[in-house]
Every structure is written in structure tokens, then in C-alpha cells.
């Protein structure tokens, strides 16, 4: 059937926005309205004629509204095939009238469980049963039935009804059915994720896993202009960039979002003191702590000003006026900033009062990442997805194993831990050199650890003398350690575990370099 006349409509909505106007449009074309509870009341108050669902089924609503539409006169009216005489005969025998349209939006389960302090009972009571059942029945029989699940569709459907004398076309019904199945699958996924959370097994890699994604925004393009892209939020509760607020600047790009995520994750790792990081192509090119955020940013920027140009800044404290003034001083060109909060006077000074084009364009993004990270991390590969628990395991000073004759002092130990925490945020192979809780040099994404060491030492230059070095994985040979010692590195932190550990330790002892082992690595591909 190409076009179907909409003569009988069942309406049951929790979100009543636009429903009165749409039902008036249906009534103008002679459609009979059947409804439930609060929806029926709202339609009657608007002057529409409505039949109660209990009158239609001949059965009362019961069990506190849990059972009202689960009835053969509802589902039979939706499911029987109009093109089969035996179906028509059965429907007539049992007094089942055809229902041509269902307008349903479901109990607000996601909104309910997002509230602070929601109880298990509240969550369970907001699991809709009748609504999804009607939606699925109508969607299955979309050759004869229209299913409407989104108030955003009301206006377009009303226009089609007007132009087609109260009928809807098959292509429209097919689109509505597709959307309906997406609605019910999303709804069931939200329930499953919440129940999984209640059972405290959110970190488990279960045999079958659904990932629900909700589009936050379309992006102009992907990593390159010839690629299409969009940003989707995921997870039971919005966190991180899924809950961002953009306060200023141009539209966020695909690459901006990747770098903002990296900056936010690094900043979340350092809680004890004000911390700033500058990200370029997802790798930190500057990082430092200080007593105040402005000083932390200044120290981070000075690590590698050349690379910091056009970078992304991440902060673990509020973006304040003093930090804004650091941006303005010397016109430090930064693409975006992510921080847990932004002071109004800082935004005003940096953006609103500025006539500089780059400062008007700077993207200020308010978002907060959990130090615990996402329970499960996913990456797409051709033909599938890789999943793993987050690399969130930390190490403290008591767990470090000193393996050299030279014992690091307490200051060096703390510096080693800072370098180790920073090192895990670089692409492997990764080498990081720091001093006084500030980055000096880094080698990231190199195909050999020797190359990564060379890059880090070259960036650090003479400042490497007396500094510490972190390696995200073990040294397979002593060559990198020997280069570090020659440059004046005082102490090294690395996982250990190479078959040549003894050779590496000997190279440290021969050159007066302290070395501690963590027993864990931080590969990041």
C-alpha cells in the first residue's frame, strides 16, 4: 500500500510538546483519537474528542497503569495484515478495529536515572513496557501503520497529511519505522547499561556489547577536508567531552576534539597542584605544575614555545584572570583551552574585550574528566572494535624498586613519579625528561626507543643535566641509558622486564645514574 489513510490513531506520550497541535491536524482529516491517562486529559482540555483506551479495549487500566495497552484489540489492530483475507476475517471475528497510527514517546528512563540519588525502585518504575511494545508492533507492520516517536516529526507529517488528504506515503512510513526501532534499541540499551552499573560490573568485557552513540554535533570535516565527520557522546552518564560547554570561539573541529580529549585526560591526572599542559597532535609539548594556574601555564608554554604555537591547553583548575593575562602577554596563539571552570572576568579579558582575531576565535571549552577514566575504552579497526579497560593504574613511591647503587633522594623520587605520570600520555615509543615538575624534552611515537631518547635529549639540551627521564616501556639495550647518562640525566624510571635488565642497570651504575623500576608499562599506540 503506497498511501494509507489515517483514520484511527492511538496516542500515549510522556513528552507532550506539540502533541495538541498535531492531534488537531489529525482530527481535521477525520481521524479518531484513542488515548491514555494524562495524554487523554491534555487533549480533552484542548477541546479534542478522545476515546479512552479502556473503552477501546473493553478492559480497565490496572496495576498502577502497568497494564493498559497490552491487549489484543491494541496489538491486533496494529499487527494484522490488511492484505490477507484470513487476517481481516480474524480481526472482524474478534472485534479488532484497525489502528493506522501510533504516537508514542517512552517513559523518561534516561532522565530519571540521571538524577542524583535516584533509587532502584524509581528506575524500575520508569521502564516503559506498553510503549515499546506498541512501537515495535506498529513498526513491524509499517506497510499499513505509521509509528511516530519523535515530536520533531509532527510538523512535517502534518504537512504531508494536508497535501495528501489525510494519507501518509510508504516511504514516510518506512522512515518512521526505522527511527522507531532505533528508539527502542536505544531505550533498551540505556536500561541494560543502568542495570549493569547497579550490579557494579561496568568494567567487565561481556561477550556481547552494544555501544550507543548520540550525535552531539556535525563537524565540518574529519582529520582532512575530504572526510565526513560527526561528534557522538557515549556512556550511561555524560562525562568529559560528552558533557562539554563551549563558551567562545569557532566551531570545534575533529582534530580539536581529539586534542581537547588528550589535554583533559592529562590534566585530570594531576590533582595535587595547579597543572597546565599544552597538546600538539595529542602529545604533550609542554607540561608543568606551580602554585598558581597562571604560573603553571607559563612554565608549560616555555617548555617548547615553537610547538606550543596553535596548541591546545588543558588545565586542572579554573581558568582565571591571571592565566588569561598570560595568554595575552606576548600574544601566545592557542587554538583552544579545556578546563573544569572559567572565571567570567578571565573570559571577558581574553575574548570579549579583545579586537585580536585569534583571541576572538579561541575555543574555550568547559569539561571535566574523571581521573579514573572510562570503564571501557573502544577503538575501531577494519571489521570490528577493540575494547580494553582504561590505563588508570597508578603507582606510588613505596612501590618503586631501586635497582642501582645510587639511591634517588626524596626530591628525585617525586620528580620521577611526575615524569612517569606524564609519560603514559605520549604515543609509544615514549621518553620524557622533566625537572622541577616541568617538561624539558620528549620523544613520542618513534619506531625505536633510541630515536625517542635522542629526540627527548635534543629538546632538553643542556637543561637535561640533573633532570630525570621516564620511559613508557623497558630498555631492550643499554644504549639509550648511556646516551642519557652522557647528557647528564640523574635518574631514570622505567618498567623493567627486559632480558638485558642487568646490562641496563650496569650502565646506570657505571655512569652514576639512579634507576627505579615500576613493574608496569604504559604502551599507547
Give the pLDDT confidence score for residue 288 in this predicted structure: 98
* Any domain includes 309: yes
pLDDT single digits (tens) 239-293: 788 889 999 999 999 999 999 999 999 999 999 999 999 999 999 999 999 999 9
Last residue of a domain, one of 366, 389, 419: 366
Give the pLDDT confidence score for residue 230 in this predicted structure: 95
Q: CATH number for the domain including 492? A: 3.40.140.20
pLDDT band at 154 (very low <50, low <70, confident <90, very high): very high
Give the pLDDT confidence score for residue 261 in this predicted structure: 95
As beta bridge partners, residue 338 has 314, 365
Residue 185 sits in the same domain as residue 37 = yes
- CA–CA dist 13, 40 (Å, integer): 10
Residue 56 sits in the same domain as residue 180 = yes
pLDDT at 467 over 90: yes
pLDDT single digits (tens) 185-228: 988 888 887 887 776 655 677 777 777 788 888 999 999 999 99
* Any domain includes 229: no
Tell which residue, 413, 392, 459, has the closest CA to residue 432: 459
pLDDT at 127 over 60: yes
Residue 191 sits in the same domain as residue 272 = no
* Any domain includes 148: yes
pLDDT at 40 over 60: yes
Residue 353 sits in the same domain as residue 405 = no
Active site residue 140: yes
* Any domain includes 223: no
pLDDT at 111 over 90: no
Last residue of a domain, one of 180, 198, 216: 198
Give the pLDDT confidence score for residue 236 in this predicted structure: 59
Residue 194 sits in the same domain as residue 334 = no
Residue 159 sits in the same domain as residue 66 = yes
pLDDT band at 406 (very low <50, low <70, confident <90, very high): very high
Residue 296 sits in the same domain as residue 351 = yes
> Cα 76 from chain centroid?
41
Cβ burial 480-517 (10 Å sphere, 16+ → b, else e): bbbbbbebbbbbbbbbbebeebeebbebbeebebbbbb
pLDDT band at 346 (very low <50, low <70, confident <90, very high): very high
Question: Could you tell me what percent of the chain has a pLDDT over 90?
Answer: 61
* Any domain includes 402: yes
Residue 292 sits in the same domain as residue 151 = no
Residue 337 sits in the same domain as residue 427 = no
* Any domain includes 42: yes
Give the pLDDT confidence score for residue 201 in this predicted structure: 58
Residue 402 sits in the same domain as residue 360 = no
pLDDT at 20 over 90: yes
Q: CATH number for the domain including 140? A: 3.40.50.1380
Distances (CA, A) of 252 to 12, 356, 440: 39, 19, 30
Q: How big is the chain by its Cα radius of gyration, in Å?
A: 31
Last residue of a domain, one of 167, 182, 198: 198
Residue 444 sits in the same domain as residue 330 = no
Give the pLDDT confidence score for residue 356 in this predicted structure: 82
Q: Which residues constitute the domain of residue 405?
A: 398-517
Task: State the residue for C-alpha cell 520508569.
Answer: 126
pLDDT single digits (tens) 304-321: 999 999 999 999 999 999
Give the pLDDT confidence score for residue 372 in this predicted structure: 65
Domain count, the chain: 3
Tell which residue, 279, 289, 278, 228, has the closest CA to residue 253: 228
In three-state secondary structure terms, 34 is strand
Residue 69 sits in the same domain as residue 175 = yes
Point out the catalytic residue in the list 51, 140, 189, 250. 140
Mean per-residue pLDDT, 480-489? 97
* Any domain includes 272: yes
* Any domain includes 256: yes
Give the pLDDT confidence score for residue 235 in this predicted structure: 62
Q: Round the average pLDDT of the chain to a whole number and report it.
A: 90
Active site residue 197: no
Give the pLDDT confidence score for residue 278 in this predicted structure: 98
**How many Cβ atoms from other residues are within 10 Å of residue 2's Cβ?**
10
Point out the catalytic residue in the list 281, 414, 463, 483. 281
Which of these ranges, 137-146, 474-483, 489-498, has the smallest mean pLDDT? 137-146
Mean per-residue pLDDT, 53-82? 76
Amino acid at each position: 500500500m503506497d498511501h494509507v489513510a489515517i483514520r484511527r490513531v492511538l496516542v500515549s506520550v510522556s513528552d507532550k510538546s506539540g502533541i495538541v497541535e498535531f492531534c488537531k491536524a489529525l482530527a481535521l482529516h477525520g481521524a479518531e483519537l484513542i488515548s491514555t491517562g494524562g495524554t487523554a486529559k491534555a487533549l480533552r482540555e484542548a477541546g479534542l474528542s478522545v476515546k479512552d483506551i479502556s473503552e477501546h479495549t473493553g478492559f480497565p487500566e490496572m496495576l498502577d497503569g502497568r497494564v493498559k495497552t497490552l491487549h489484543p484489540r491494541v496489538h491486533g489492530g496494529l499487527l494484522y495484515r490488511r492484505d490477507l483475507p484470513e487476517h481481516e476475517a480474524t480481526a472482524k471475528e474478534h472485534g479488532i478495529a484497525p489502528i493506522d497510527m501510533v504516537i508514542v514517546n517512552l517513559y523518561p528512563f534516561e532522565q530519571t536515572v540521571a538524577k542524583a540519588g535516584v533509587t532502584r525502585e524509581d528506575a524500575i518504575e520508569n521502564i516503559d513496557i506498553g510503549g515499546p511494545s506498541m512501537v515495535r508492533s506498529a513498526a513491524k507492520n509499517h506497510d499499513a501503520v505509521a509509528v511516530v516517536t519523535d515530536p520533531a516529526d509532527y510538523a512535517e507529517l502534518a504537512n504531508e497529511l494536508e497535501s495528501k488528504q489525510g494519507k501518509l506515503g510508504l516511504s514516510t512510513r518506512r522512515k518512521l519505522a526505522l527511527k522507531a526501532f532505533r528508539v527502542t534499541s536505544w531505550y533498551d540499551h540505556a536500561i541494560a547499561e543502568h542495570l549493569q552499573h547497579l550490579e557494579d560490573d561496568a568494567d567487565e568485557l561481556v561477550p556481547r556489547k552494544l555501544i550507543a552513540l548520540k550525535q552531539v554535533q556535525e563537524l565540518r570535516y574529519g582529520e582532512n577536508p575530504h572526510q565526513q565527520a560527526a561528534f557522538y557522546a557515549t556512556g550511561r552518564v555524560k562525562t568529559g567531552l560528552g558533557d562539554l560547554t563551549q563558551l567562545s570561539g569557532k566551531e570545534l573541529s575533529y582534530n580539536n576534539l581529539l586534542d581537547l580529549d588528550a589535554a583533559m585526560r592529562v590534566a585530570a591526572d594531576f590533582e595535587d597542584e595547579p597543572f597546565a599542559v599544552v597538546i600538539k597532535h595529542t602529545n604533550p609539548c609542554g607540561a608543568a605544575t606551580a602554585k598558581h594556574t597562571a604560573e603553571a601555564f607559563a612554565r608549560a608554554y616555555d617548555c617548547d614555545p615553537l610547538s606550543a604555537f596553535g596548541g591546545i591547553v588543558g588545565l586542572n583548575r579554573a581558568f582565571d584572570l591571571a592565566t588569561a593575562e598570560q595568554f595575552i602577554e606576548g600574544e601566545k596563539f592557542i587554538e583552544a583551552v579545556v578546563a573544569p571552570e572559567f572565571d567570567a572576568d578571565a573570559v571577558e579579558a581574553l575574548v570579549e574585550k579583545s579586537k585580536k582575531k585569534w583571541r576572538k576565535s579561541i575555543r574555550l571549552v568547559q569539561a571535566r574528566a574523571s581521573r579514573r577514566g572510562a570503564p571501557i575504552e573502544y577503538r575501531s579497526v577494519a571489521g570490528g572494535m577493540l575494547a580494553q579497560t582504561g590505563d588508570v593504574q597508578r603507582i606510588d613511591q613505596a612501590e618503586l624498586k631501586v635497582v642501582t647503587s645510587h639511591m634517588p633522594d626524596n626530591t628525585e623520587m617525586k620528580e620521577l613519579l611526575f615524569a612517569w605520570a606524564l609519560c603514559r600520555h605520549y604515543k609509544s615509543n615514549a621518553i620524557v625528561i622533566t625537572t622541577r615538575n616541568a617538561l624539558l624534552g620528549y620523544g613520542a611515537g618513534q619506531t625505536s626507543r633510541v630515536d625517542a631518547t635522542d629526540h627527548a635529549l635534543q629538546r632538553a639540551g643542556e637543561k637535561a643535566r640533573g633532570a630525570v627521564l621516564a620511559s613508557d616501556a623497558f630498555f631492550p639495550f643499554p644504549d639509550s641509558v648511556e646516551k642519557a647518562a652522557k647528557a647528564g640525566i640523574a635518574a631514570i624510571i622505567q618498567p623493567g622486564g627486559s632480558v638485558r635488565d642487568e646490562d641496563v642497570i650496569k650502565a646506570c651504575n657505571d655512569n652514576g645514574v639512579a634507576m627505579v623500576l615500576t613493574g608496569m608499562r604504559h604502551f599507547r599506540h
